[in-house]
Structure 1
Amino acid sequence: MADNPFTLCASPGYVARFGEPTTIEDLAAHRCIKLHAMDTWPFTREGETHRVRISGPLSASTVDAVRAACIAGVGIAMLTYWDVNKQIGGGELQRIVLADVKPLEIGIWAVFPTRTQMPARVRAFIDALRDRLLAGTDTGPMRTTK
């Protein structure tokens, strides 16, 4: 339905105090905020996936808690585009781009058994959901598929 890539981000205050990592190895020297469900952060380099074990002062069970801590300057977070696009657009957070790797790109999918006999209400729901997901994505490129 749409792309939702992982995004590294930090508050401008954090970057002013601690600097910005430029490579995957630099992350070890930074304070990273971990989501309980993600013991490692996924990156890609030349088509291969690399997972980096991170550590830091805070681990939280919800995206909202990780985002709030990141905005407060606690550390660097890896969240999905839709988790942070408004805060990046508003200047509360800034993207961190590493020179040697890219965060893993993931997507949001609607899975159904067949397209040939899909009820009109299911197609309408999928179309409405896709439109909702894409609303407000003007702070970065998004691809969609039908």
Structure 2
Amino acid sequence: MVDKEYELYARVIESGSLAAAGRTMGLSPAMVSKRIARLEERLGARLLHRTTRKLTTTEAGQRFYERVVDILTASREAESLVSAADGAPAGRLRITAPTSFGRLHVAPHLKPFLERWPRLKLEIDLSDAYVDLLAERIDLAIRIAPVIGGGLTGLRLAPNRRVLCASPDYLKQHGEPKKLADLNRHHLLAAVAQLPWRLQGRSGPVVVPGESIVRTNSSEVVRELALAGMGIALRSTWDIGPDLRAGRLRVVLPEHPGASDVGIFAVYPPAKFVPAAVHAFIAYLQDLYGPEPFWDRDLAIPA
């Protein structure tokens, strides 16, 4: 079917390789190559330049891709409009979320949602990179940020409480900071672009500059480094709640939590018609998390 070939072509462009596109659609690289060649033959134009190391679009291929995205978007909106006529979300729902949050607080809760709406076909991508929702045709993104931004529409799902923390072993070896200035003599841990830290102070927001002793693009690595006793990290309670309860990590400088304006949002591209599946998933997450998320309940943090 033409729409399937269009979908495959768009996946090839967005993923940057035949193999990656094939994995998302259950096809071998050879089959993807065959179907793209068949599409080029039917159109009478070369769409892609392919080498062993790189895949790029031709000028015609880029123009075709832009139109394909429009066609696929319009098709999905039409299908969602019809399928929602009976009030039951149906069709494909593509979601992206930060890696750790998605693994801990989205994936484990998908079963009840899909059981309630069995006609949905869910795709979920976990990534800490900034995802262009329009370019990659993502229906819904979960983002942890001060504001939604980017011309997107969305709703706040939950607060994002953050605290400075370290392992008991690290504090035993290096001492516990008593004031913000003490952080200058401590090992700091943060992923790329997460420093300087934005914290709350008695008189308002404060900024703590510094450099992580280990350079990493992974927030999960930062948590593991903190647990291993390598330094002080600024972590969200949804991430380290079990470690705080078990005593594997301790809160330091509790009077200086992370900036309070950061929240957990569900965002989606602006559209004339928002699929019923998007509204259903947002409502499900709002009910699941609530104004006091389950990961913060019974979490004793000294004031």
Q: TM-score, normalised by structure 1?
A: 0.78
2:253 matched residue in structure 1: 97
CA separation in 2, counterparts of 1:54 and 1:77?
12
Residue identity matched to 2:258: P
CA separation in 2, counterparts of 1:15 and 1:46?
24
User: Is the CA contact 1:11–1:70 (under 8 Å) kept in the aligned structure 2?
Assistant: yes
**Would the alpha carbon gap of residues 103 and 58 (structure 1) be closer, same or farther in structure 2, given more than 3 Å must change?**
same
Shift of 1:57: 2.4
2:161 matched residue in structure 1: 5
1:25 matched residue in structure 2: 181
Residues 7-55 of structure 1: per-residue CA shift (max 9 Å, x gap): 1000011111111112111100111112112120111235632211123
**CA-atom RMSD, angstroms?**
2.6
Residues 75-126 of structure 1: per-residue CA shift (max 9 Å, x gap): 0011222121121122211111255x43212211234689xx8765433211
1:63 matched residue in structure 2: 219
CA separation in 2, counterparts of 1:47 and 1:113?
37
2:243 matched residue in structure 1: 87
| Structure with higher RCO (Cα < 8 A, 6+ apart) | 1
- Report the 3-state secondary structure (helix = DSSP H, G, I; strand = E; otherwise coil) of the residue aligned with 2:176: coil
Consecutive unaligned residues of structure 1, counting only runs of 5 or more, are 142-146
Which one has a bigger Cα radius of gyration?
A: 2
CA separation in 1, counterparts of 2:264 and 2:249?
23
Percent identity between the two aligned chains: 30
CA separation in 2, counterparts of 1:72 and 1:7?
18
Q: TM-score, normalised by structure 2?
A: 0.41
- Report the 3-state secondary structure (helix = DSSP H, G, I; strand = E; otherwise coil) of the residue aligned with 2:183: helix
- Report the 3-state secondary structure (helix = DSSP H, G, I; strand = E; otherwise coil) of the residue aligned with 1:110: strand
Residue identity matched to 1:137: D
- Report the 3-state secondary structure (helix = DSSP H, G, I; strand = E; otherwise coil) of the residue aligned with 2:266: coil
CA separation in 2, counterparts of 1:95 and 1:88?
8
1:140 matched residue in structure 2: 299
1:144 matched residue in structure 2: none
User: Is the CA contact 2:237–2:296 (under 8 Å) kept in the aligned structure 1?
Assistant: no
Shift of 1:74: 0.3
Consecutive unaligned residues of structure 2, counting only runs of 5 or more, are 1-156
User: Is the CA contact 1:63–1:83 (under 8 Å) kept in the aligned structure 2?
Assistant: no
Point out the more displaced range, 28-37 or 65-74. Answer: 28-37
Residue identity matched to 2:249: L
Number of aligned residue pairs: 138
Point out the more displaced range, 46-55 or 77-86. Answer: 46-55
